[in-house]
Amino acid sequence: MEKITAKVLQLAEGYRDVTARNLSRLVQIKSLTGGEGEVAAELQKQMRDAGFDDVRLDGLGSVLGRVGKGKRLLAVDAHIDTVDQGNLENWSEEPFSGRIANGFVHGRGSVDQKGGAAAMVTAGRILAELGVPDGLTVLFTGTVMEEDCDGLCWKYIIEEEKIRPELVIITEPTALGIYRGHRGRMEMRVSFKGLSAHGSAPERGKNAIYMGSRACLEVEKLNERLRHDDFLGKGSVTVSEFVSGSPSLCAVADSARIHLDRRLTAGETKETALAEVRELVCAEPATVEVLQYREKAYTGKEYGMEKYYPTWKLEPDHPAVARAENVFRSLFAREPRVDKWTFSTNAIAITDIHHIPCVGFGPGNEVMAHAPNEKVPVDDLVKASAFYALYALRMM
């Protein structure tokens, strides 16, 4: 084994307990979307303790920790907000315990995805100790608001903070596989305009509920014929809400709207998805729109974007993927599993909107994300920290 690889592995192993304890503390601080202030402070402290060269917050409150001072920029990203615990009865232990036992760190966010954050802090520690190669800077980002609006934090980093890495490693859970894409998604609303009339004489009116109902049945059929991609799978669409309005319960309904959850596969875009839905409802007085997200960060800054999260994938022979495979083989002496996420990540803003490649590698299994009794293997944390550090060292 190459000397530097052995050294990275040895350091990652040596920091096993530090990494697990750091994660435990991050889990113990509840950090729902928009309430990440306290966990951001803890992450900054952990980065400073690890010997990072510079640690600060951006305007949205994401943590930006830097090691090295070269011109080329590699970023490693972990979002630090989590979803809520859900029904407590499904948990066999306290959701925010951060308990370390039997080789696991337990609790909400351990997999999705504070485990990635703890592992990347240790990677920064290893790099600070070994020295970042000349000409390279590694930026570790602990980002906010991902669970509500994936990619928003990175839109801010790129467009408002004017930071543009050449590549981003996404540390969302991959069970130590190398991920090179996921389906995109978008949220659409279709509104139908009817005409109310007395309920005793429906023939005088135009019932918006009937318009919406016809559209719903067409959406069901549309789902069946959406395209398929061998790597990413099939695009999908479903009606997730139906709301109607009427002047009275004794009147013809004069408004209705449906909410569509659309998952996009390769080759499907906002334009194609909108056109399909417009086609379905062209016979009705209906409007189709993509919804907007706009919320306040914990810093008080309000920011938003359209709820369109494009599909992305890197080709299997992309240099960023090839490097990831080589790093994996060097460290673990076996072939990596190259795959994709089922869910969506920050990569949507980075890769598709801003054309910066992303590659995914993270501790823990994605099936535990948003599930009760979430827990991450400490072994995964150790391996991920070694992977991020060696990846940075192999950039030059």
Site residues, Zn ion (CB under 5 A) = 112-113, 172
**Residue 55 near residue 66, CB atoms below 8 Å:** yes
CA-to-CA dists, residue 257 to 64, 141, 215, 284, 370, angstroms: 41, 39, 10, 12, 29
CA-to-CA dists, residue 379 to 7, 17, 383, 386, 393, angstroms: 17, 10, 6, 11, 21
Least Å distance, CB 339 to Zn ion, is 16
**Which of 300, 296, 278, 298 has its CA nearest to residue 288?**
278
Q: Given the complex with Zn ion, which of 68 and 115 has the nearer CB atom?
A: 115
Least Å distance, CB 346 to Zn ion, is 8
Letter string b/e over residues 298-328, b meaning 16 or more CB atoms within 10 A of that residue's CB:
bbeeebebebbbbbbbbeeeeebbebbeebb
Q: Given the complex with Zn ion, which of 146 and 268 has the nearer CB atom?
A: 146
Least Å distance, CB 217 to Zn ion, is 34
Q: CA 291, 296, 300 angle in degrees (round to 5)? A: 160
State the catalytic residue, choosing from 36, 58, 77, 146.
146
Q: Given the complex with Zn ion, which of 212 and 360 has the nearer CB atom?
A: 360
Q: Given the complex with Zn ion, which of 113 and 191 has the nearer CB atom?
A: 113
Reply yes or no on whether 366 is catalytic: no
Least Å distance, CB 77 to Zn ion, is 10
Reply yes or no on whether 54 is catalytic: no
Q: What is the rounded CA–CA span in Å between residue 209 and residue 217?
A: 12
State the catalytic residue, choosing from 81, 187, 284, 374.
81
Q: Given the complex with Zn ion, which of 61 and 109 has the nearer CB atom?
A: 109
Closest residue to Zn ion, judged by C-beta, is: 112
**Which of 211, 265, 217 has its CA nearest to residue 238?**
217
Least Å distance, CB 172 to Zn ion, is 5
Q: Which residues are catalytic?
A: 81, 146
